[in-house]
Each structure stands twice: as C-alpha cells, then as structure tokens.
Amino acid sequence: MTLGFNTLAVHAGTEPDPATGARQVPIYQTTAYVFRDSDHAAKLFNLQEVGYIYSRLTNPTVSALANRVAALEGGAGAVCCSSGHAAQIMALFPLMQPGTNVVASTKLYGGTIQQFTNTIRKFGWSAKLVDFDDLNAIEAAIDENTRALFCETICNPGGAISDLDAIARVANHAGLPLIVDNTTATPYLCRPIEHGATLVVHSATKYLTGNGTVTGGVVVDSGKFDWSASGKFPSLAAPEPAYHGLNFHAALGGMAFTFHSIAVGLRDLGMTMNPQGAHYTLMGIETLPLRMERHVQNAQAVAEYLEQDPRVDYVTYPGLKSSPYHDLAKMIVPGGAGALFTFAIKGGYDACVKFVDNLKLFSHVANLGDTRSLVIHSASTTHRQLSDEQREAAGALPNVVRLSIGIEDVRDIIGDLEQALTAATA
C-alpha cells in the first residue's frame, strides 16, 4: 500500500518498541550496544549484517528519523548528522578528492557561501559560484575536476526558485550528481529527487523540527546515481582504503552512498546527531504538513500586504505575480512558495535597523523555519562576511530585511509589521 505524505509524516520509519510496546520512538540514550557474540560483532564491522555498534555511527532513535526523512523525500536511504552545515560536508565527502570542485549557485545561504568559498579549501576542495538561473553559465563552469552541482530549492534569503529539472539535465549530461538543499521548501512543498536530484540535504534545525529547539542535518540519497560510470568517485566505486578495500557501489548498489556516509563519514568525521535531538525532530515532523500549510498561507498574505505598502520598495516572494519566479514556483513548489522572503524598505540601511528594533511579535534571531515569525537584517548578520558582490548576488542588500513567516494569526503578524514600518519611516 502506498501511503500519503501526511501518513508518512506520522508513521514512516517507526514501529512500536519491541521491548515495551511504547508507541512513540524511545530516546535510546546509549553510547554502545552489546554484541550477541564475537561472530556477531565481526559481521557488523564488516557490513555483513545491519545493526548497532556505537552511537557515533548509528542509534535507533536517529535511524528512525533518517528513515522517516528518506520516506518523505522518496529516497533510498538517509544519514543524520549534527547540523545543516555538517550535512553539506557529509554530502560532499564521499564525492570529493583534493583538487576537485563543486559548481554551486550564487543564491545560497551566506553561511554556505562562506563554507564553500573558504572552509572547504582546507580539504583541498574548491567551489565555483555561478548564477544558476543561467544554464549556460553552469555548463561553462563544469570542468574535468567537477564532482557535483549544488543549489537550494527555495533560495535563502531572497526566495528565488531553482529550476531543478533544467539543472538536473545539465548535471546528467555532465555525468555529475545534483545536490539540492531542500531546507526552506521541505518535502511537503517539493521532493527534489522527483525533479532529478541525486542527493537532498536538510538543516533539520529549521522546518522539519519547527520549534527552534535543536540543531541537526540530514542527507538523503536517491539511490539512482551510477557511481561506477565515470571513474570520478573512487570512494564509492573503487576499493576504499578507509574500509578494508571495500567497493561500496559494487557491494551495496543503491545504498552505497548511505552506507559509506555511516561507515566512513560518521566514523571519521564524527558529525553525529544526538538521540534526543532526533526525537524532537521526529515529533516535529508529525505536524510538518499542518505547519507548512499555515506557513504558506500566512506568507502569501503578508507578501501581498507588503507589496502594496508605499513604504516598501519591493518584495521578493515567489508567490506574487510580480516575481520573476512566479511561473517556475508553480512547477517546482505547486503547494506554495514557502515562508521565507525578503523585502526592501525605502530609507535604506538605517530604516531597516529601526524596523527590526521596533518589531514586537517577530523574534530577531539568526534562524528560520520556526513556528514563530522571525526577522533578520541579512547584510549585517548572516551575510556579513561576504563581499558586496556576493551579498548582491544572494539578494542580501543593505536595504533588505529577511522574514520567516510563522503560524500565528496573520492579522497579528501584519499588525506588527505595520507598527514597525511606521516607526522606521516616520
């Protein structure tokens, strides 16, 4: 029986606890697991049997979350880790070698641009940032050392929509995997694998958990990419020296990436999600469909209100007919254009600061995807370390404020924006 999304959000990846019958997934707060005997231990370490060894690698609570997110995304498998940034490194880790590069969109979260521009160079990797609205630019950036393409479904902060189908065609033609950050859309609004993505990453900190209590990340593998086709991915499709010479793709097929990420990635990088955090995220996902429906309804109403306000220069929400991404949004996120967008205040930087400081219902935080409405001035915070050109490409200009619209009564959200705009532009 094929289950619907709402049902999967509640049931996928979980069964009543076999020991106690507990219906909610227990928090398995344990470091290690007792082996039945020496033969059992050896089989686990040789990947001849699936089970639990040590919680840096796998944990029943965390595994339940991985299985649920994989089901929601339509993937073959998933691995959970300590944050969204960790998920990005985990996604790249089996693909990259010193001297290789990833071609990534300029329209990314500022922290991701920083990670790709500077931090990954310490591994000997590099990133080429190009405008992913320009397919020719993507093709031109790909060279013999490129190992992946990377973009966001709904881009942070400006809400631009990536044409995943077209980008996937470019990736397929080049024989490369497409990695899509689906944090801001969630699988409720978009399942990138259905649009050709190879890997999907999430900051579970955001909408999946939805209540601002934990940090976490997830990487979902489609299980569809042929890692053996080109010789470019030796960690997955050649004898892996970090695991006794095992050829993961030959031995595990569509689960090669997932098992490598656990057996090598989590083992050696140690970016482990804790079981209590996984438990919070599992509970959050149970209400994901209900929350996303309200997020989208509220965001559409707020964007329409702001667009007609004479104190506002422009609004970037893709759900507006004025957005250049409006038609694309209907194809990529037909259920709604998310709840994250920016708007420009007439009066520039100073007016933005006054606006943020006068909000009362909105929380001024460096986060998004909470049940609460959130605000931040990206140019002076999340995108502060970027160059002027990078901030402009990402849509984080000095006169722009980013909103993450929550699930409160929309009249209260609009009322708070109204009074803050009045104070900021008086």
* CA–CA gap between residue 150 and residue 386 (Å, rounded): 19
Lowest mean pLDDT among 100-109, 146-155, 199-208, 238-247: 238-247
For residue 206, give the amino acid letter. K
Is a pLDDT exceeding 90 seen at residue 107?
Answer: yes
Regarding whether 218 and 326 lie in a shared domain, the answer is no
Regarding whether 160 and 251 lie in a shared domain, the answer is yes
Whole-number pLDDT of residue 378: 73
Regarding whether 214 and 139 lie in a shared domain, the answer is yes
Q: 278: alpha, beta or left, given left = phi > 0 and alpha = psi -120 to 50? A: alpha
Q: Give residue-wise pLDDT tens across range 291-302.
A: 999 999 999 999
User: Could you tell me the pTM of the whole model?
Assistant: 0.95
Sequence-ordered list of residues with C-beta below 8 angstroms from that of 356, at least 6 positions apart, any chain: 364, 375, 376, 377, 401, 420
Regarding whether 225 and 148 lie in a shared domain, the answer is yes
Regarding whether 302 and 237 lie in a shared domain, the answer is no
Whole-number pLDDT of residue 394: 59
CATH number for the domain spanning 389: value is 3.90.1150.10
Residue after which a domain boundary falls, among 238, 261, 283? 283
Regarding whether 113 and 45 lie in a shared domain, the answer is yes
Residue 355 lies in a domain: yes
**Beta-strand pair 126-130/101-105:** parallel
Q: What is the DSSP string of 84-109?
A: HHHHHHHHHTTT--TT-EEEEESSS-
Q: Give residue-wise pLDDT tens across range 210-266.
A: 999 999 999 999 999 999 999 999 999 999 998 889 999 999 999 999 999 999 999
Query: CB of 276 within 8 A of CB of 59?
Result: no
Regarding whether 164 and 183 lie in a shared domain, the answer is yes
Residue 1 lies in a domain: no
The residues that bridge with 152 in the sheet, in sequence order, are 181
Regarding whether 305 and 207 lie in a shared domain, the answer is no
Q: Tokens in use for 249?
A: 């793709």
Is a pLDDT exceeding 80 seen at residue 389?
Answer: no
Rounded to an integer, the average pLDDT of 308-322 is: 96
Nearest to 357 by CA among 380, 385, 340: 380
CATH number for the domain spanning 185: value is 3.40.640.10
Q: Tokens in use for 71?
A: 């089901």
The distance of Cα 169 from the centroid of its chain, to the nearest Å, equals 21
Is a pLDDT exceeding 90 seen at residue 1?
Answer: no
What is the extent of the structural domain holding 404?
288-425
The residues that bridge with 246 in the sheet, in sequence order, are 240
Cis preceding linkage at 241, omega within 30: no
Confidence of residue 384 (pLDDT cuts 50, 70, 90): low
Nearest to 99 by CA among 261, 259, 234: 234
Is a pLDDT exceeding 80 seen at residue 393?
Answer: no
Residue after which a domain boundary falls, among 249, 283, 317? 283
| Burial (CB count within 10 angstroms: exposed 0-12, middle 13-18, buried 19+), residue 241 | exposed
Regarding whether 253 and 292 lie in a shared domain, the answer is no
Residue after which a domain boundary falls, among 283, 317, 348? 283
